[in-house]
């Protein structure tokens, strides 16, 4: 997995769609074209365009890595970089990808605790950084769902509707329980919302259909 540090001071765990991330996965993770830099046994990815695009300073990532990072940052073990990069070095094999993820999270936690204890951080906003990592799971809707949806998918649809109805759709999150955020990509959002609407039409819950249409219209306008 990769550790994603958001400008909202929340740490998220991003799982690759297969064993390794693709370049598109990494670009999507930072909302732009990545600028990779190796620091110790890990790779840090961020977008140099983020500042030009008006994204805020990533205070947690900038504090830890000691240089200005705007927008989201990804911390990726070398084991899970795109296969075509071939950047594994001999010392990288001393650790597993999980070792690097857990080691980084531990180091980040300790750095923030140290700064708070000794007053080293003049910017108090990062004191609220949420370090318990939230795993993000990317849901990809089937473009041609089965005629009869399985029961677990129906439960997912219902839970998703309840979440969206309360929270709308922010940062592409369609369901969250505090430990896991379920997201849908911008490219799949239209298909996903239409499938939700089709499901609720099939069970004659038309008020939910109208609510979903309104929420999605507001999302696309913004």
Residue-wise pLDDT tens digits, 41-58: 899 999 989 999 999 999
Residue-level pLDDT at 186: 83
Q: How far is the first Cα of the chain from the last one, in angstroms, to the nearest whole number?
A: 31
82 burial type by CB count under 10 A (0-12 exposed, 13-18 middle, 19+ buried): middle
Residue-level pLDDT at 217: 86
What average pLDDT does range 133-151 have in this prediction? 67
d(CA 30, CA 49): 10
pLDDT digits (tens, 9 = 90+) for 159-209: 999 999 998 888 888 998 877 788 888 888 998 999 899 989 998 999 999
The residue ranges of every structural domain in the chain are 2-133, 139-221
Percent of the chain's residues with pLDDT above 90: 32
From residue 153, how far is each of 20, 43, 134, 156, 194 by CA, in Å? Answer: 27, 36, 22, 5, 15
The continuous run of DSSP H or E covering 4 comes out as: strand 2-5
d(CA 58, CA 63): 8
d(CA 30, CA 28): 6
Chain position carrying tokens 């994603």: 4
Within 52-181, residue ranges assigned H as helices are: 59-65, 97-118, 151-167
């Amino acid at each position: 997995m990769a550790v994603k540090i958001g400008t909202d001071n929340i740490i998220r765990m991003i799982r690759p769609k297969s064993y390794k991330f693709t370049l598109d996965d990494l670009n999507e993770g930072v909302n732009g074209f990545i600028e990779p830099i190796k620091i110790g046994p890990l790779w840090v990815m961020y977008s140099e365009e983020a500042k030009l695009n008006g994204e805020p300073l990533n205070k947690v990532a900038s504090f830890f890595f000691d240089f200005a990072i705007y927008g989201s940052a990804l911390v990726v073990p070398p084991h899970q970089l795109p296969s075509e990069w071939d950047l594994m070095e001999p010392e990288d094999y001393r650790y597993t990808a999980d070792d690097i993820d857990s080691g980084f999270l531990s180091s980040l936690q300790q750095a923030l605790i140290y700064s708070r204890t000794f007053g080293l951080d003049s910017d108090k906003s990062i004191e609220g950084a949420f370090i318990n990592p939230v795993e993000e799971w990317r849901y990809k809707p089937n473009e041609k769902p089965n005629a009869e949806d399985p029961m677990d998918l129906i439960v997912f649809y219902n839970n998703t509707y309840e979440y969206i109805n309360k929270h709308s759709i922010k940062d592409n999150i369609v369901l969250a329980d505090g430990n896991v955020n379920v997201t849908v990509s911008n490219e799949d959002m239209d298909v996903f919302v239409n499938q939700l609407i089709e499901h609720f039409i099939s069970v004659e819950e038309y008020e939910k259909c109208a609510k979903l249409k309104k929420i999605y219209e507001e999302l696309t306008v913004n």
